[in-house]
Amino acid sequence: MSLTVVVWTPTGIVMAADSRTSITYNREDKNGQKSSSIDVLTNNTYKLVLFDKCGVGVSTYGVSHPGGLPVEAHLHIVEEERLTPEDRAPEVAEKLQAYFQEKFPKMNLWFFVAGYREEDKASVPYVYNISVEKNAITRVNVQPNGERWPGGVSRGGATEIVNRLIAADHLPEFSLLPLQDAVDYAIFLVEVTIKAMRFEPGMDTVGGPVDVLLLTPKEAFFLQRKELHGGAC
């Protein structure tokens, strides 16, 4: 399981994700009795990717190894083979959905795609939620009438704890939120989930380092991202 969070404000978009991947083992003993267990596979999964070619961020949750490869590997294939420097969030969302629909049309795969596109000399924010299984692309930072939400939050994956925190009458004023506060809020939601799972029954399916990506009309970069390193385990 995973937890990915997207917070957008009038001045920027923050994407955050945990790093834990869990796996279900199915077993059968000598008497034919079947059992299953969920174990942590790794705390070093990259669930948040920046497409440097076009400055668009993507986070993932759901199935972690479609076709026997990490989702991150598939995202690099999409960037290399299908994206152009002219693509922005709307084109990336379409091409990403097309790739996974071709290869894994019925798989429980989800994505957030976020970035900006210049329209009438203004940078317009786009935040999408994509379901491969449902073949659906939903722009989450717009109201039903098509008007943009100036700020807000969306989340996916193991959201039970986050949903308790995101009550409609206890939300921040996202349209007034400074960008640093948006960063802190996104990290807070992921870290509180990790800590709360320690004390609740069941498997801790969210964990590991929290990666954070910041996107503004002028730049896109990681504020924090686990790095590879040498040395003993």
pLDDT in tens, 173-227: 999 999 999 999 999 999 999 999 999 888 889 999 999 999 999 999 999 999 9
Please tell me the distance from the alpha carbon of residue 173 to that of residue 160, in angstroms, as a whole number.
22
Tokens (6 digits) for 181: 């506060």
pTM to 2 decimals? Answer: 0.93
Domain of 91? 3-22+37-224
Tens digit of each residue's pLDDT (9 = 90 or more) over 146-178: 899 999 999 999 999 999 988 878 899 999 999
Place of tokens 């990259």: 46
Indicate if the alpha-carbon torsion angle 9, 193, 184, 73 is positive or negative.
negative
Q: What CATH number is associated with residue 64? A: 3.60.20.10
Tens digit of each residue's pLDDT (9 = 90 or more) over 217-226: 999 999 999 9
Average pLDDT of the residues in 15-19: 98
Give how many domains the chain has, as a whole number: 1
Q: What is the mean pLDDT of the chain?
A: 93
Any domain includes 152: yes
For residue 37, what pLDDT is reported? 67
Any domain includes 27: no
Any domain includes 166: yes
